[in-house]
Amino acid sequence: MSKVDAVIGCFYGDEGKGKVIDYLAADADVAVRATGGDNAGHTIRVGDVKYAMHLIPSGILSGHTVAVIGNGMVLNPKVLFQEIDNLKSHGYDVDRYLKISEKVQIILPYHSLLDLALEKARKSSKIGTTGKGIGPAYCDKYERCGLRAEDLYGDSFEERLTELVESKRELLKYYDPENAAEYDACLDPKKICEEYSEYARRMEPYVCDTVTYLHKALEEDQKVVIEGAQATLLDIDFGSYPYVTSSNPTVGGMLTGTGLSASDIGNVYGVIKAYSSRVGEGPFVTELTDETGDRIRDLGHEYGTTTGRPRRCGWLDLVTLKYAKRLNGLTGLSVNHLDTIGKFDRIQVCVAYEIDGTVTEDFTTNLKALNRAKPVYREFEGNFGDISGCASFEELPENAQAYIRFIEEYIGVPVKFIGVGAGRDEMIVR
């Protein structure tokens, strides 16, 4: 039976997972996403066209890969149909290649309103969420009052949805009394029932038992890849809590979010950039708040795919990567943006943290310690020149090779993919 390849973000998201999935999908029959929702934004450049995939697995862009929205995700139907329409307008046969888990949680209009109201109520301790309703939708899942895709087709759908809208509207007024009239106006149960009945009608052909589908695909020796969303340091358990997302983007979440088993997994590819970035609040040990950080942002075009927010930027942090290796059992790495970092004369790489006089290579999620951690850097020569045309590791200049070799030696995991540009083909495969 064929083994599943998993692609996982190692830092704070936006490492270029979409690009790696796009490469793997060329030989894959199925690409499945396990966690998160449209808080993700995976960019793939196909020729002159730039696709920003938020919900549908990027693997669909191969043109022959079935894209599965797994049971662990939270799905906003409005965004789903925007994506479907966009893909169809570019000639993709979405009706043939898209499948949606019957168990996926549905995002309702009150989820994003709650997300925004809760952020407002947090005042100085904001998380910096994407405002897409992800946290409130997962809250409802665990409170067991969420609607799954299959519930859209139940007899009592309208009755349940009406009750939910009415109760969430009161909750919103409690959190944010100033805007009570607005909540009354935009959370009309009748209108929401009508809107979601129409989504349900359009979604029905895609909704199925994806757990059985995935296992049958493996039994038929088909190639399945799991497209990670978010990243290790945004994990609700293992990330920099509370500055995290509300799911488990690490390898465990990939199992519970798809129904695949641990023994189904083969390669686990950890994706990083040759530097680090983060959107939203929370600790970031190697962050550069000076002009070097601004330069990384400019050169790497580091603005959020989902929210457009400028991303915080800093040097590569191997302490974090080692943590991600341990948690996810990484078997290979993908290092993107080698072209971007190669534009600097000198490059720093964080090899340890100094916390209150103690030097450690072990990451901690203790916020107090993390906020006091000072990066210990090792310096590398930059100036790689234009490497966008390099098709093999050997074609890279010596400085670039040394940088990659150091990452491999420190982490003890081979670098399998190297990004030398944003384009689909600008990737070295070893």
38 binds ligand GDP (CB under 6 A): no
**Is 140 an active-site residue?**
no
Nearer to ligand IMO, 132 or 168 (CB): 132
Q: Which of 5, 14, 317, 426 contacts ligand IMO by CB under 6 A?
A: 14
Report the 10 Å Cβ neighbour count for 412: 9
Instruction: Give the tokens for residue 110.
Output: 């009150």
Site map for Mg ion, 55-84, x if CB under 5 A? ------------------------------
Pairing verdict, β 265-273 and 4-9? parallel
Q: Is the CB of 111 or the CB of 168 nearer to ligand IMO?
A: 111
Identify the CA nearest to 200 among candidates 286, 329, 121, 106. Answer: 106
Taking the C-alpha atoms of residue 184 and residue 201, their distance in angstroms, rounded to an integer, is 26
Alpha carbon of residue 411 to chain centroid: 22
15 binds ligand GDP (CB under 6 A): yes
Instruction: Scan residues 96-135 and list those touching ligand IMO (CB under 6 A).
Output: 127-130, 132, 134-135
Q: What angle do CA 300, 303, 308 make, to 5 degrees?
A: 165
Catalytic residue among 5, 22, 29, 42: 42
Q: Answer whether 77's CB lies under 8 Å from 203's CB.
A: yes
Judge whether 230 and 245 are in contact, CB under 8 Å.
yes
Binding residues among 30-59 for ligand IMO as defined by CB under 6 A: 39-42
Contact pattern from residue 391 through residue 430 relative to ligand GDP, giving x for each residue in contact according to CB under 6 A and a dash for the rest: ----------------------------xxxx--------
Residue 336 binds which entry of Mg ion, ligand GDP, ligand IMO, none, CB below 5-8 Å type-dependent? ligand GDP
Give pairs for 45-51: CB < 8 Å, separation 24+: 45/422, 45/423, 45/424, 46/22, 46/424, 47/424, 49/90, 51/86
* Shorter beta-carbon distance to ligand IMO: residue 14 or 83: 14
DSSP state of 124: G
Phi, psi of 45 (to 5 degrees): -105, 115
Active site residue 237: no
Contact yes or no for 408/333 (Cβ under 8 A): yes
Give the pair of three-digit tokens for residue 79: 């965004």
Give, as ranges, the residues between 19 and 58 that touch Mg ion (CB under 5 A): 41
314 touches which of ligand GDP, ligand IMO, Mg ion, none (CB within 5 to 8 A by kind)?
none
- The residue count for binding ligand IMO (CB under 6 A) is 24
The Cα 38–Cα 83 span in angstroms is: 11
Write down how long the chain is: 430
Angstrom distance (rounded) from CA 56 to CA 87 = 10
| Residues touching Mg ion, count (CB under 5 A) | 3
Range 300-339, binding Mg ion (CB under 5 A)? 305
Q: Pick the closer one to ligand IMO by CB: 138 or 196.
A: 138
Q: Does 231 bind ligand IMO (CB under 6 A)?
A: yes
Report the site for ligand IMO in 300-339 (rule: CB under 6 A): 305
Binding residues (CB under 6 A) for ligand GDP: these are 9, 13-19, 41-43, 45, 301, 305, 336-337, 339-340, 419-422
Active site residues: 14, 42
Binding residues (CB under 6 A) for ligand IMO: these are 9, 12-14, 39-42, 127-130, 132, 134-135, 229-231, 234, 245-246, 279-280, 305
